[in-house]
Homo-oligomer: A and B are copies of this chain.
Amino acid sequence: MESNDTNTLIQSSKGDGTIQRTMLREVIRQRIVERILDGTYMPGTRLVESAIAREFGTSQGPVREALRDLAGMRFIESEPHRGSRVREVSLAELVQVYPVRAALEEVAGREAASRMSEETIGSLSSELEEMHRAAESGDAHTQLVHDVRFHQIIVEASGNQILIEMWNSLRVEARTLISAIKSGSDLKLIAEMHRPILHGLQIGDGEVAGREMRQHIEFFGDLVARVSKTV
């Protein structure tokens, strides 16, 4: 319940010239997200405003705002007068994500293909490489990180701001459940499955890239759907 190292939330930022726009709400939000992602706050955990405020040494206000933001990002859910708790990510919901993600990424691939720079191609190649490296050491989690990053790069390369915001709001990186399934799969194969996408982008063919991305996501969607039925 107590904390000592967490109390320095605000760096007065005098010293370096950079203006350190510190907003309490932001800091608190990040802190909570970390805890959700690393499992400190498991799904279902109640997040009590006053308790968090006390722990962080702030007042209730900023905590409340942080929680509201988190609710907007679907990390938590809140009911009036009843507080907030970490959201349960159901398998059923995960299944619903895939068709949406497939559709969005198809658009991303199509639009990104004509906007690829050498640098972007380089980043993608290097993420792919990292995926393989992780596959060899059997590190499913690390592979997932690079996997997500690979897709994110493409979405951002689309240059479509709406698309980017929309994709980010899917919180792909937070729905880590897949890693569980992946660990049962062939990591090397998974890494290799990204190559056709990269190829499509390299030759600048939007139709190919889009189609490959869609199929890629749909593949995992089917995988998850199958698992969810088994359960």
Contacts and interface: CB of A to CB of B under 8 A. Distances in A.
Interface string A61-91: 1001100110010000000100000000000
Given A21-B80, A61-B61, A100 B107 contact: yes
Contacts of A72: 69, 72
Nearest to A103: B103
A160 interface: yes
Interface string A12-49: 00000000010100000000000000000000000000
Given A65-B68, A72-B69, A72-B72, A163 B99 contact: yes
A112 to B, nearest CB: 12
Contacts of A53: none
B99 A107 contact: yes
Contacts of A223: none
A166 interface: yes
SS class of chain A's interface: helix, strand, loop or mixed? helix
Nearest to A99: B107
A170 B106 CA distance: 18
A199 to B, nearest CB: 22
A111 interface: yes
A160 B99 contact: yes
A162 B97 contact: yes
A100 B65 contact: no
A61 B100 CA distance: 36
19 contacts: A64-B65, A65-B68, A68-B68, A93-B161, A93-B162, A96-B163, A97-B162, A99-B107, A99-B110, A99-B111, A99-B160, A100-B104, A100-B160, A100-B162, A103-B104, A103-B107, A166-B166, A166-B169, A166-B170
Given A23-B80, A61-B61, A72-B72, 4 more contacts: A96-B160, A99-B110, A100-B107, A104-B104
